[in-house]
Amino acid sequence: MNIKKEEKEKILTSYQNKWVILTKDRKKVINSDKTIRGIIKKASGLKKDQAVITKVLPFGITYSP
């Protein structure tokens, strides 16, 4: 699912440099944590098709894997 950049920033601004669990449509944050271990523990009760886990990088920088 694609959402507009402005909408994405509005949702994720307060979660920069954190791991988050998003709803499947990526429009709402379910939970967050500073570490991947912490977010995996918090996601343990969710089914794989219910949510998306991702790291929120700081806005305004370029990242190349």
Classify residue 25: in a domain, yes or no: yes
Instruction: Flag whether 15 is in a domain.
Output: yes
Residue 33 is part of which domain span? 5-56
| 13 strand-pairing partners | none
Please report, in tens digits, the pLDDT of each residue of the chain (65 residues total): 577 878 888 899 999 999 999 999 989 999 999 999 999 999 998 888 889 999 999 988 887 77
As for how many domains the chain has, the answer is 1
What's the 3-state SS for 17-62?
A: CEEEEEECCCCCEEEEECCHHHHHHHCCCCCCCCEEEEEECCCCCC
pTM for this structure?
0.82
Asked if the structure places residue 26 within a domain, the reply is yes
Parallel, antiparallel, or unpaired for β 29-33 and 51-56? unpaired
